[in-house]
Every structure is written in structure tokens, then in C-alpha cells.
Amino acid sequence: MKRCAECSLPMVLGRDQQWHGNGLITTSKDEKFRMVVLEVELVRSILAGMRGMLGDYTDNLVMHGKRKYVRRYVDGLLSGPLGLLVRSRLGTRKVYENLVSTGATLGYGYIEIMDYERKKGITGLVKNCYAEPLFAGDVSGAFESVERVLTNCSWETEGDASTFIVTTEEREDEMKERMEYEPPKELPSTRTLERCSGCGVPTGMARYKWIEKQGIILDSITNTRVCIMGLNDLNAIFHEVENAVGDEINTVVYKVSKEFAMDIYKGVKKEELDNVFDLWALHGLGNVVEHSEKHLKMDNPYNPDLIRGRVEGLYSALMGKDIIADQKLNEGVIEFTMGGA
Ligand SMILES: [Zn+2]
């Protein structure tokens, strides 16, 4: 992994992603493709909450939703002459090696390719996998983009290692018309980000340590593991589950997020709030533009239910009692008025 000489973050981080002053991270190739830094424990808790509602069907839904978006993401990476080259007989192995290193950069785990047969399938071993159904979508979506086939993926986990087996499958793509999601309107930048002169990534990101041998990203201050993932795919998965079971899913997302926030912000002090909101913007969660004891306004919120949970959890931790907020969502702005429970 090539590192920046100034801040020692991986060079690909600033090459593949752009941080904006409006609380957004986007991919460098496509400014509509929003990325987000999320705590791995939160992601896993949300999936567990969904599984509690939908049973094993959840994994299938999550995997296929992620597959569709990853296929589109890799299609973008491999557009034009580069695509012709990597899809040739000579290029494919190399492209998987590159994708493996992209996966490690995003904190998905330590990945090894065990077996590969052109247009037939791929088997990978992942240590410290961030979330198995999501990774199954990552690997099958990437394989589909490179090989121009449709796939299925199964996996087995033993201890901290998971084996993923992707096989080609002749079928109609059930996700072709599904999982569509239009991101809301985007509000402009109000923040000036101090950036590293070497790689251009905001200096605030230097708190994260990339531990290459384990494929994980750790917050060196709180010791929390994070990963970087596409926002639209996660939102599309939430929408798809909403279509299947109704808006109960939003309650699950909100509740899990609130509980998680109450825990991580335990003992937070008023004078630390600006730092918290700086970090939210850096994570691509959105841009807090106003806040007081009773009120908070955020531009470009990442999924509203998740943000509501995080805001209520933070304020509950701050006030030392359960806070329930009134929420107003309008044209890319979310506003909360705090009340007691
Ligand atoms: Zn740097």
C-alpha cells in the first residue's frame, strides 16, 4: 500500500475519493456517487436488526442490492479503453488484485483470492470481513462487471475468516428494475477543510490508521473500527426492505443508530460538540450548519433515520436523559427540535 509521505494515509484514498465542504464524500470518477465512513459495529447492528424482522431473507436482499451497485461502480472504474484491457485474457487477474487492494483500503478486511476461473467463478478468503452479506455483494458485483455475467454468491464463516464462493448463474437479473434510488438535491459547501499537502485528503482523516495486514481501519483516538462504503447502495437497500415490509425498517435503523450513538457519545461535553460535527462532515454524514441546546440543522443528511438516531443519541448522552426530537426534512435539509421523552 503506497502511503502519503506527509500524513501516511493510503495514496489511493485521495485518488479515488473527494471530500467536499458540504458534508459529502464522493468518488473521484462520479460526483453523484456518494461515499460514507461508518462504524463497522453500527453496520453490523443494523443488519442484525433487519435480520430480526425479515429472517434469512435479509442477507439475500442485502447481497443483491450491494451487487447491483458495486457492478455499476466497477463499470465506472473500468469504462473506456481501460475496460477493454482489463477484460482481456491478460488483464483480469491484475484487475482482481487491484480490487482486493481497493477493498483493503475501504476497510472491508484482509482479502486473498483462492481460486479464479475466467467467466466461471472466483473464491476468496476474507479475514476480519466488515459485513458478510455486503462483502458477498462486493465480490459478486465486481466479478459481474469484469466478466459480463450474472452470479450468485455463498459464504461460510469460521472464527474471523469467511470464504466467499461466487459462481456464474444463468438467470434474469431480479434486481434490474429494483433498488433504484434517486439521491436528494445537494446543498453547497460552507466548510473550509484543511487538507494534506501531499494527498489532498482532509488532515482530520489522519486520526485513522490503516492496518494493512488485517484489512481494517481503526480510529486511533477511540479505537473504533470503521469502513468506507457507497451511500446510495445502502439507502437503496433500506428502500427495498421498506417496499417489502413497510416502514418498520426505518424504525429499526433509527433505534439501532440511537442506541449506538448513546453509547459512543457517553460523557460527551457541550464544548466537544463542534468536534463531533466536524467529524460527521468528514465522515460524509452531512453538514451541521446550526446547533443549540434545543435545535440542530444539517445540510445534505445521509439517511434521515440514521441521522435522527445519531442526533437523539448524542443529545441524550449530552443531557443525561432520553431526548426525542421533532424532525423536519425538506430539500436536502434536516432540522431537529429537541424535547424530553
Ligand atoms: Zn497526505
CA–CA gap between residue 261 and residue 213 (Å, rounded)? 29
CA–CA gap between residue 149 and residue 338 (Å, rounded)? 50
DSSP string, 28-80: SS-TTSEEEEEEHHHHHHHHHHHHHHHTTHHHHHHHHHHHHHHHHHHHHHT-T
Query: 40 or 95: which carries more pLDDT confidence?
Result: 40
CA–CA gap between residue 166 and residue 31 (Å, rounded)? 30
Strands (E), 184-300: 208-211, 216-219, 225-230, 287-291, 295-299
Please tell me the distance between residue 285's alpha carbon and the centre of ligand 1 in angstroms: 22
Please tell me the distance between residue 21's alpha carbon and the centre of ligand 1 in angstroms: 18
Please tell me the distance between residue 236's alpha carbon and the centre of ligand 1 in angstroms: 32
Please tell me the distance between residue 293's alpha carbon and the centre of ligand 1 in angstroms: 36
CA–CA gap between residue 15 and residue 201 (Å, rounded)? 9
pLDDT digits (tens, 9 = 90+) for 256-311: 999 999 999 999 999 999 999 999 999 999 999 999 999 999 999 988 999 999 99
Under the banding of pLDDT at 50, 70 and 90, the label for residue 182 is low
Between helix 92-105 and helix 132-147 the angle, nearest 10°, is: 150
Fold of 250-340: Muramoyl-pentapeptide Carboxypeptidase; domain 2 (3.30.1380)
Q: State the pLDDT at residue 183.
A: 66
Q: State the pLDDT at residue 238.
A: 80
Between helix 248-264 and helix 304-319 the angle, nearest 10°, is: 40
Under the banding of pLDDT at 50, 70 and 90, the label for residue 176 is low
CA–CA gap between residue 236 and residue 214 (Å, rounded)? 29
Fold of 11-168: Muramoyl-pentapeptide Carboxypeptidase; domain 2 (3.30.1380)
Query: 8 or 92: which carries more pLDDT confidence?
Result: 8
Residues of the chain with CATH 3.30.1380.20: 11-168, 250-340
Residue 176 backbone dihedrals phi, psi, to 5 degrees: -55, -45
pLDDT digits (tens, 9 = 90+) for 96-145: 888 888 888 899 999 999 999 989 999 999 999 999 999 999 999 999 99
Under the banding of pLDDT at 50, 70 and 90, the label for residue 196 is very high
Please tell me the distance between residue 17's alpha carbon and the centre of ligand 1 in angstroms: 13
Please tell me the distance between residue 108's alpha carbon and the centre of ligand 1 in angstroms: 21
Please tell me the distance between residue 37's alpha carbon and the centre of ligand 1 in angstroms: 18
Please tell me the distance between residue 2's alpha carbon and the centre of ligand 1 in angstroms: 11
CA–CA gap between residue 284 and residue 106 (Å, rounded)? 14
Query: 238 or 333: which carries more pLDDT confidence?
Result: 333
